[in-house]
């Protein structure tokens, strides 16, 4: 019986993948577009466009990697898949690796949203249908910009698009970090020699607890932001970002504040899988998210 159910589930996923790409848009790829220059660093992104779709909705994609590693190529597979399905994807790089680099990466992510809105007519995108998608640390940055982008306005006022609104309609997060203090506590047990949150923020919570609050998306899960839709995705076996204190806690906070929020839980999934290839493999973790992910995008963008 279990084998039959697994087969049926695989067939459903394969059908969903086929339906998602039924429009079969051709793809136009604009590589290494410079969307901002911050402190001497040129920030670039790859834009995957559904050729022939007028005013396409667009997702700004923010890669994970503990705020220390990673690049825009993490979203190559999602960029190709979603562009064929009619959704543009702008996969970005942001500044990495320096201790105490917060809030630089937040400003970089916000600038990408502003750039896409400012250039919407040039790329035939819909400036009123912009979302964010991210994984792990990228989900943290995406959620923070979605909920608190207006809080990050004191720097880079000379950016060409600094006056452009950075509001978005939705956010999709794979196994994200939404409570920085909870993740710091997790790091003590899981990776005591590489406290990723403390590195990113530059201080421990014993030195500055306020920065942990300010840098946490969960702090902004309030009713005045509840027009934004959220989809939270995680596995049951994540040993790096704890589902209970991150996605589950964030889900509860969003729901209490009246947000439209949905969750996908993948049995057996750990961390670091959203950037893997998935088309042609209905058993992959990413492929399992596709039916509900596409329904979420259809209703939210």
Contact 85, 23 (CB under 8 A): yes
User: How far is 176 from 63, CA to CA, in rounded Å?
Assistant: 11
Q: Do residues 276 and 3 make contact, with C-beta atoms less than 8 angstroms apart?
A: no
Angle between helices 137-148 and 104-118 (to 10 degrees): 60
Contacts of 2 (CB under 8 A, 6+ apart): none
Tens of pLDDT along 146-185?
999 999 999 999 999 999 999 999 999 999 999 999 999 9
Give residue-wise pLDDT tens across range 10-61.
444 444 454 454 568 999 999 999 999 999 999 999 999 999 999 999 999 9
Share of the chain above pLDDT 70, in %: 92
CA nearest neighbour of 59 among 3, 96, 109, 10: 109
DSSP single-letter state for residue 40: T
Confidence (pLDDT) at 9: 44
How does the average pLDDT of the chain come out, rounded? 93
Q: Tell me, rounded to whole angstroms, the distance of Cα 220 from its chain centroid.
A: 16
**CA 41 from centre of chain:** 22
Record the tokens describing residue 64, joined without a space. 């994970």
The tens digit of pLDDT for each residue in 239-296 reads: 999 999 999 999 999 999 999 999 999 999 999 999 999 999 999 999 999 999 999 9
The interaxial angle of helices 2-20 and 285-300, nearest 10 deg, is: 50
pTM of the entire predicted model: 0.93
**Segment 93-105, tens digit of pLDDT:** 999 988 888 999 9
Nearest C-alpha neighbor of 255 from the set 230, 236, 233:
230
How many angstroms separate the CA atoms of 289 and 150, rounded? Answer: 31
Alpha helices in the chain (DSSP H): 2-20, 76-84, 104-118, 120-123, 137-148, 180-190, 196-201, 209-214, 249-256, 285-300
The pLDDT, as a whole number, for residue 239 is 94
| Contact of 265 with 234, CB cutoff 8 Å | yes
Sign of the C-alpha dihedral, residues 127, 21, 2, 270? negative
Measured CA to CA, the distance from residue 94 to residue 101 in angstroms comes to: 11
Beta bridge partners of 171: 132, 230
Distance, CA of 80 to CA of 288 (rounded, Å): 17
Specify whether the CB–CB gap between 235 and 288 falls below 8 A.
Answer: no
Asked if residues 269 and 235 have their Cβ atoms less than 8 Å apart, the reply is: yes
DSSP 187: H
131 contacts 89 by C-beta, under 8 angstroms: no
Looking at the chain, how many residues does it have?
301
User: Per residue in 62-100, pLDDT tens?
Assistant: 999 999 999 999 999 999 999 999 999 999 999 998 888
pLDDT at 117: 98
Task: Please report the pLDDT score of residue 21 as a whole number.
Answer: 46
Note the pLDDT of residue 14. 46
pLDDT band of residue 186 (cuts 50, 70, 90) is very high
């Amino acid at each position: 019986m279990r084998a039959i159910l697994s087969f049926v589930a695989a067939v459903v996923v394969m059908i969903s993948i086929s339906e998602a790409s039924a429009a079969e848009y051709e793809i136009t790829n604009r590589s290494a577009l410079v969307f901002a220059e911050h402190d001497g660093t040129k920030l670039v992104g790859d834009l995957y466009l559904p050729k022939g779709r007028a005013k396409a909705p667009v997702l700004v994609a923010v890669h994970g990697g503990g705020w220390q590693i990673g690049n825009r190529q993490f979203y190559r597979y999602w960029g190709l898949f979603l562009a064929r399905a009619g959704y543009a994807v702008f996969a970005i790089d942001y500044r990495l690796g320096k201790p105490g680099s917060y809030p630089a990466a937040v400003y970089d992510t916000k600038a990408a949203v502003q750039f896409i809105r400012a250039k919407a007519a040039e790329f035939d995108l819909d400036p009123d249908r912009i979302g964010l998608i991210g994984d792990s640390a990228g989900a943290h940055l995406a959620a923070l910009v979605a909920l608190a982008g207006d809080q990050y306005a004191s720097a880079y006022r000379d950016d060409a698009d600094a006056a452009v609104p950075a509001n978005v309609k939705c956010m999709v997060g794979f196994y994200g970090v939404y409570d920085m203090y909870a993740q710091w506590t997790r790091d003590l047990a899981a990776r005591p020699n590489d406290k990723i949150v403390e590195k990113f923020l530059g201080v421990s919570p014993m030195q500055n607890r306020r920065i942990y609050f300010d840098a946490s998306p969960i702090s902004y899960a309030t009713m005045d932001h509840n027009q934004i839709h959220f989809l939270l995705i995680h596995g049951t076996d994540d040993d790096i970002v704890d589902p209970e204190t991150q996605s589950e806690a964030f889900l509860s906070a969003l729901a209490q504040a009246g947000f439209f929020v949905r969750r996908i839980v993948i049995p057996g999934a750990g961390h670091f899988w959203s950037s893997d290839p998935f088309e042609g493999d209905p058993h992959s973790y990413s492929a399992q998210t596709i039916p509900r992910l596409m329904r979420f995008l259809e209703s939210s963008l």
